[in-house]
Amino acid sequence: MNNICVCIYTRFWLTHLVFMGAGAMGEIKHLVIVKFKEGVVVEDIVRGMEKLVSEFDLVKSFEWGQDSEGPEMLTQGFTHSFSMTFDKKEDYAEFQSHPNHVEYSATFSAAIEKIVVLCFPSVRVKPSA
Amino acid sequence: MNNICVCIYTRFWLTHLVFMGAGAMGEIKHLVIVKFKEGVVVEDIVRGMEKLVSEFDLVKSFEWGQDSEGPEMLTQGFTHSFSMTFDKKEDYAEFQSHPNHVEYSATFSAAIEKIVVLCFPSVRVKPSA
Asked if this assembly's ipTM is beyond 0.85, the reply is no
- Candidates B80, B97, B87; CA nearest to B15 is B97
Contacts of B69 in chain A (CB under 8 A): 19-21
B22, pLDDT greater than 70: no
**Residues from chain B contacting residue A81 (CB–CB below 8 Å):** 29, 31, 118, 120
**How high is the pLDDT of residue B129?**
59
User: Which among A29, A78, A125 is the top mutation candidate for probing chain B, defined by the most B β-carbons within 10 Å of its own β-carbon?
Assistant: A125
Is it the case that residue B59 has pLDDT exceeding 70? yes
Query: Is-contact A46 A104, C-beta < 8 A?
Result: no
pLDDT higher for A14 or B79? B79
A111, A123, A114, A104: which is closest to A32 by C-alpha?
A114
pLDDT tens-digit profile of A68-79?
Answer: 778 999 999 999
Mean pLDDT in chain A? 84
Interface contact flag, B118 A81, Cβ < 8 Å = yes
Residue from A116, A122, A128 to probe the interface with B (highest B Cβ count within 10 Å): A116
| Selected residue with higher pLDDT from A128 and A27 | A27
Cα–Cα–Cα angle for B2, B8, B14, nearest 5°?
130
Task: Give dist(CA A107, CA A48) in Å, integer.
Answer: 9
pLDDT in tens, A55-67: 999 999 999 999 9
Residues B30-55 pLDDT 10s: 999 999 999 999 999 999 999 999 99
Question: Which is more confident, A26 or A65?
Answer: A65
From chain B, the residues in CB contact with A117 under 8 A are 70, 74-75
- CB–CB of A53 and B126 under 8 A? yes
Closest CA to A64 of A108, A96, A106: A108
pLDDT for the residue numbered A26: 66
Please determine, for residue A3, whether its predicted confidence score (pLDDT) is greater than 80.
no
